[in-house]
């Protein structure tokens, strides 16, 4: 999609595109740090109370196939994902390093009646296993719908579109 800067004045509560971008950068930086620093309990807080989070692949996305590797349509489901990782699921100790690229605000910015801002953000995730092995685990783009809730920018929707449909071994920690 082509970025289409809209008239700044039309962006409800979010301010101009110029003032919005640093907030989107900050949100993405905070999101990545929370996951990479193993502060997973903070992860659901980046989302609005009503939200959708899905991990899928470019191929599924392009074909319009709906199922995700992870799929949550409430903040509660995001909390359950973390609770399961902490209390139920078994996997070798591992960590991610997110490298998140420049967000592109994609149209229509500022014209959505619900105040939704759409952004696309490229990412790269290296997985570090307990024995020191490092692998390029995932690359892709976040397709985001952002809203302001209680003065803070939150994800109404974050669709994680992985470039590859292939997952090595397992996907435990959210991307």
Partner 1 sequence: MSMLDTKRAWPGDTLTRVPYWVYEDEANYRDELRRIFEGPTWNYVCLEGDVAEPGAYRTTFVGEMPVIVTRDEAGALHCFENRCAHRGALIALDDDGRVKSSFQCIYHAWTYDLTGTLTGIAFEKGANGRGGMPAAFCKADHGPRKLRTTTLCGLVFATLSDATPPIEQYLGAEIVRRIQRVLGKPVEVLGRFTQTLPNNWKLYVENVKDTYHASLLHAFFGTFRITRLTQGGGIAVSPDGGHHASYTIDRADDRTSTAYRDQGIRSEHENYRLADPSLLDGVDEIGDGVRLQILTVFPAFVLQQIQNSLAVRQVVPKGPGSMELHWTYLGFADDAPEMRRRRLKQANLVGPAGYVSMEDGCVGGFVQRGAAAAADELSVVNMGGEGTESQETRATEASVRGFWKAYRRLMGY
Contact residues: partner 1, CB under 8 A: 55-57, 59-60, 65-74, 76-77, 79-81, 83-84, 87-92, 165-172
Minimum CB–partner distance for residue 70 and partner 1 (Å) = 5
- Which among 131, 128, 109 has a CA at the least distance from the CA of 120? 109
126-155 burial, b at 16+ Cβ within 10 Å, e below that, comes to bbbeeeeeeeebbbbbbbbbbbbbeeebbb
Q: How far is the CB of 45 from partner 1 (least distance, A)?
A: 13
Which lies closer to partner 1 via its Cβ, residue 83 or residue 134?
83
CB of 125 to partner 1, least distance (A): 14
| Residue in the block written with tokens 């229509």 | 108
Q: Which is nearer to partner 1, 9 or 90 (CB)?
A: 90
Identity of the residue, 44 or 103, whose beta carbon is nearer to partner 1 in the bound complex = 44
Q: Cβ contacts of residue 25 below 8 Å, gap of 6+?
A: 103
Task: Output the smallest distance, CB 101 to partner 1, in A.
Answer: 23
Taking the complex as a whole, how short is the minimal distance between the CB of residue 126 and partner 1, in angstroms?
A: 17
Q: Cβ neighbours of residue 67 under 8 Å, at least 6 residues apart?
A: 56, 60
For partner 1, give the closer residue by CB, 13 or 87.
87
State how far the Cα of 30 lies from the Cα of 155, in Å rounded to an integer: 13
Closer to partner 1 by CB, 119 or 145: give it. 145
User: Is residue 150 left, alpha or beta, with left meaning phi > 0 and alpha meaning psi from -120 to 50?
Assistant: left
């Amino acid at each position: 999609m082509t970025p289409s800067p809209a008239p700044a004045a039309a962006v409800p509560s979010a301010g101009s595109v110029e003032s919005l971008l640093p907030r989107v950068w900050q949100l993405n930086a905070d999101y990545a740090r929370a996951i990479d620093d193993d502060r997973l309990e903070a992860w659901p807080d980046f989302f609005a109370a009503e939200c959708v989070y899905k991990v899928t692949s470019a191929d599924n996305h392009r074909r319009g196939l709906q199922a995700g590797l992870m799929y949550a349509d409430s903040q509660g489901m995001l909390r359950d994902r973390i609770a399961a990782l902490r209390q139920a699921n078994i996997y070798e100790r591992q960590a991610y390093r997110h490298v998140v690229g420049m967000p592109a605000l994609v149209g229509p910015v500022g014209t959505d009646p619900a105040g939704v801002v759409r952004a696309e953000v490229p990412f790269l995730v290296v997985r570090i296993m307990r024995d020191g092995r490092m692998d390029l685990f995932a690359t892709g783009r976040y397709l985001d719908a952002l809203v302001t809730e209680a003065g803070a920018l939150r994800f109404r929707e974050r669709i994680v579109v992985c470039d590859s449909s292939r997952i090595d071994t397992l996907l435990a920690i959210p991307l």
